[in-house]
Chains A and B, each alone.
Chain A
Amino acid sequence: MARWKVYLARIACVLILAGGFKPLYLQMFTGARTSWAAALVERPYQKMPVYRAFMNGVAERTPPDARIAIAVPAEDPGAYTYGFLRGTYLLAPRITVPLFSGGESPTLQNIRYAEYVAAWHVNPHSFGPHFERVWSDGDGTLLRRVR
C-alpha cells in the first residue's frame, strides 16, 4: 500500500468524524442545557408568542369532547394553518374546527360545527350574538355558543 493512500485514508476518517460531530450534544453538560430547554418549550410557537399559554387556558375551561373553532389572524392559508395545527395539538383530544377553507379569505361557514370559539388576536364580537364570552387572557378570548 502506498504511503499517500494510507495518509489519505486517515485524513478521510478524520473528516468523517469531524464532519458528523455535533458540539451541541457536548454543550448539554454545561449550563447551556437550561437555556436550550427554555428555548425548546416555546420553539413550536415562536411566531405566535403566548399562544401556547392561551390555548392551555382554553383546554382547562372546556370538556375533552368539546368542538372548538380556532380563530387566529390569517393573512393567508399558511398563516392560518400555523395557528390551527398548533392549537389542534394543544387542545387534543377536543375536536378543533378550522375557519379557513384555503380560499382567498377566511370563511365562517364551519362555525356551525363549533360549540366554542378560541379567538386569538381576533375581535370576539365578530362571531355575533350566538356566542358569549367565557374567559379572556388579554391576547385571546374563549367564547361559548348560547343559541
Chain B
Amino acid sequence: VIAALTAIVFVTACGAGLALRVDRNADPARWIGESFLIGFGLSALVLLGLTFARVHWTLGWFVIVMILAGLPWFKRLHVRTTPLHWIDALTLVTVIGYVLFVTAAAPAEADFVSDWGLKAKVFAHTQGVDWGFLRNGWYWFALGDYPPLVPLSFDTIALFSGGWDDRWLGMINAGFGIAALLVIRSLAAEQLHSKAAAAFEAFAIACILLTPWLGTGDGPLVAYMTVAALFIRRGFITPGAVFLGLGALTKNEGISFVVAAGMAMLLDERLRKYVWRLWPAVLIPAPWLAARAIFRLKTYLATGSVFDRIAAHMHDPQTYAMLLQIQSVGPLLTTGVLIAIVLAWPQWRTKERFVIAAIALQIAFYVAAYVVTPLDVAFHIKWSWERLVWHVTPLLAIVSLEAILPMAAIRRYNV
C-alpha cells in the first residue's frame, strides 16, 4: 500500500504544473483533483514514449522523465480557500467507505482478469508495451486495440512496488473517483454560488461517481468524461479538451465521446465557435492511435463485413429490447432526473443543449456498436450495457441537480 500511495503522490505532483496551466481558476481542492487526472495521463504517455524509444521501463527512467515532463510547467498557484459545509463531512464518510471497498482485496472483475489487469501484468514483466501480445489472436479477449491509460496506470504502481502485485490496484479506482469529485465539488460551488448546494450536489453524486467496477477502465473514463463535459459546458474549453483527450486514451468509448462532444458543441450556438479549441482532445490520444495503426492492432468492431453482421443481427431484432429491460439506473434516480428535466425544461432547452446532445450522441454510438458487433448481441448487451449507461449517468445527475437545486433552496414562494 505504501508503494501505491507513493506512486499516486509522485504522479499527482508531476501533473500539478500542467494542471495549473490548463485551469488557471482552480481552487486548491480542484487543483489536486486535476493534478491526479492529468498526472496519470502524463505517466501513461511517458511509459508509452519509453516503449517507443525502446527503453525498458525502470523506476529510475520513469521518475527522471516524469520530472522532466512535469516540472517545467509549474507556476505560482493563486491560493484561494475552498469553503466547506457540514454536508461535506457526509461525502468524506462515503469516500472513506469507498476506499475501504476498493482496497478490500485485489480487483476481481472479469474484465480486469481478461483485459485491463492482464495487459498491465504482461507489460510489467516485459518492461514495456508488448505489441506481440496485443497482436496475438489467441488473446482476443485482451482487446489489444483498447487505449492503454488504465493498464499503464497499474504499471506505474508496479514500478514503485518493484514488481507486479495486484493487491492494491483498487487505489487507482479510488484516486480517479476522488479526483473527479474534487473537481465537480469546486465547479458546483462556482455554478450554484452556494456552498450548501455545492456540498449537497457532491454528496448526492458521490456514490454515482465512485463506480463499483474495480480494475476496469469504466471508473477512470467516467471521471474524465464527466469532468470534461462540465468544463466545456461552463465554457472552459482548454481543460475540457485535455480531459476529453485523456478519456480517449482510456477507452474506445472515450474516443467516441470526443466526437460526441465536438458535434454537441456544433449544435450549441454559444460553444460552436470554440470547436477548434478541442485540438488537445485529438493530440493526446494520437500517439496511441498511431501505434495502433502501425502495429495493426485489430478493433473487434471492425473485423469482417459490417453489413453481414448487421444483416445477421436483424434476424433477431427483439434482442435489442434488452436495452430497455436491463435496469442500469435505478427507478428513484430515473424519477428524480425526469422530474428535474420537466421542472426546469426551459433551462435544459436553452442552456444545456450541449450536455443533452453529447449524452444523446454517446448513447447513440453505443447502440450503433451493438448493431455492428461481431459478438453475440444478447451476450454483448448483457455484459456491457449497465456500465455503458453509467458513463453518462453522473453527468446527467449533476446537470439535473444544478437545474433544480436553486429551486429547491427557495424559502419564499407564491402560494
User: Using an 8 Å CB-CB cutoff, how does the interface string of B316-339 with A read, 1 for contact, 0 for none?
Assistant: 000000000000011111111101
- Of B94, B208, B333, B415, the residue contacting A3 (CB under 8 A) is B415
Q: Write the nearest CB–CB distance from A52 to chain B, whole angstroms.
A: 10
Of the listed stretches A92-100, A116-124, A129-137, chain B binds A92-100
Instruction: Report A82-109 residues with CB < 8 Å from chain B CB.
Output: 85-86, 88-89, 92-93, 96-98
In the complex, the answer to whether A24 meets B212 with C-beta atoms within 8 Å is: yes
* Nearest CB in chain A to that of B118: its residue: A89
Question: Besides the contacts A12-B404, A26-B93, what 9 more A-B pairs have beta carbons closer than 8 Å?
Answer: A3-B414, A3-B415, A5-B343, A9-B405, A16-B333, A20-B333, A21-B207, A38-B105, A93-B121
> Does any Cβ of B come within 8 Å of A2's Cβ?
yes
Residues on B with beta carbons closer than 8 Å to the beta carbon of A93: 121-122, 125-126
Q: Write the nearest CB–CB distance from B258 to chain A, whole angstroms.
A: 26
Residues on B with beta carbons closer than 8 Å to the beta carbon of A25: 94, 97-98, 100-101, 207, 210
In the complex, the answer to whether A85 meets B141 with C-beta atoms within 8 Å is: yes
> Does any Cβ of A come within 8 Å of B106's Cβ?
yes
* Nearest CB in chain A to that of B406: its residue: A9
- Of A21, A92, A98, the residue contacting B138 (CB under 8 A) is A98
Q: Write the nearest CB–CB distance from A96 to chain B, whole angstroms.
A: 7
> Does any Cβ of B come within 8 Å of A62's Cβ?
no
Total interface residues in chain A, CB < 8 Å = 45
In the complex, the answer to whether A11 meets B339 with C-beta atoms within 8 Å is: yes
Bound CA span A57–B173, Å: 30
- Ranked nearest first, the 3 interchain pairs of A and B with the lowest CB-CB distance are A19-B333, A15-B336, A19-B332
The CB with the most chain B CB atoms within 10 A, among A2, A3, A19, is that of A19
In the complex, the answer to whether A20 meets B97 with C-beta atoms within 8 Å is: no
User: Using an 8 Å CB-CB cutoff, how does the interface string of B323-366 with A read, 1 for contact, 0 for none?
Assistant: 00000011111111101100100000000000000000000000
Q: List 24 A-B contacts (CB under 8 A).
A: A1-B407, A5-B343, A6-B408, A6-B413, A9-B404, A12-B337, A12-B400, A13-B336, A13-B401, A15-B333, A20-B207, A20-B208, A20-B330, A33-B104, A37-B104, A40-B108, A41-B105, A44-B110, A86-B114, A89-B113, A92-B118, A92-B125, A93-B121, A98-B138
Bound CA span A85–B138, Å: 10
Bound CA span A138–B333, Å: 50
In the complex, the answer to whether A44 meets B113 with C-beta atoms within 8 Å is: yes
Q: Write the nearest CB–CB distance from B120 to chain A, whole angstroms.
A: 9
Residues on B with beta carbons closer than 8 Å to the beta carbon of A17: 200, 203-204, 336
In the complex, the answer to whether A8 meets B343 with C-beta atoms within 8 Å is: yes
> Does any Cβ of A come within 8 Å of B205's Cβ?
yes
Q: Write the nearest CB–CB distance from A41 to chain B, whole angstroms.
A: 5
Bound CA span A86–B208, Å: 29
Residues on B with beta carbons closer than 8 Å to the beta carbon of A18: 332
> Does any Cβ of A come within 8 Å of B262's Cβ?
no
Q: Write the nearest CB–CB distance from B116 to chain A, whole angstroms.
A: 10
- Of A16, A27, A37, the residue contacting B340 (CB under 8 A) is A16
Bound CA span A38–B408, Å: 43
Q: For the side of the interface on B, what is the size category?
A: 35 or more
In the complex, the answer to whether A1 meets B413 with C-beta atoms within 8 Å is: yes
Q: Is the interface of A mostly helix, strand, loop or mixed?
A: helix
In the complex, the answer to whether A16 meets B94 with C-beta atoms within 8 Å is: no
In the complex, the answer to whether A19 meets B331 with C-beta atoms within 8 Å is: yes
Q: Write the nearest CB–CB distance from B100 to chain A, whole angstroms.
A: 4
Bound CA span A127–B332, Å: 57
Q: Write the nearest CB–CB distance from A71 to chain B, whole angstroms.
A: 15
Indicate whether A81 sits within 8 Å of B339 (C-beta atoms), given known contacts A9-B407, A26-B94, A89-B117. Answer: no
In the complex, the answer to whether A1 meets B410 with C-beta atoms within 8 Å is: yes
In the complex, the answer to whether B104 meets A36 with C-beta atoms within 8 Å is: yes
Indicate whether A6 sits within 8 Å of B407 (C-beta atoms), given known contacts A19-B335, A81-B141. Answer: yes
Residues on B with beta carbons closer than 8 Å to the beta carbon of A49: none
Q: Write the nearest CB–CB distance from B377 to chain A, whole angstroms.
A: 15
* Nearest CB in chain A to that of B339: its residue: A12
- Of B121, B138, B408, B415, the residue contacting A89 (CB under 8 A) is B121
> Does any Cβ of B come within 8 Å of A112's Cβ?
no
> Does any Cβ of A come within 8 Å of B19's Cβ?
no
Instruction: Report B175-212 residues with CB < 8 Å from chain A CB.
Output: 200, 203-208, 210, 212
> Does any Cβ of A come within 8 Å of B279's Cβ?
no
Bound CA span A86–B110, Å: 8
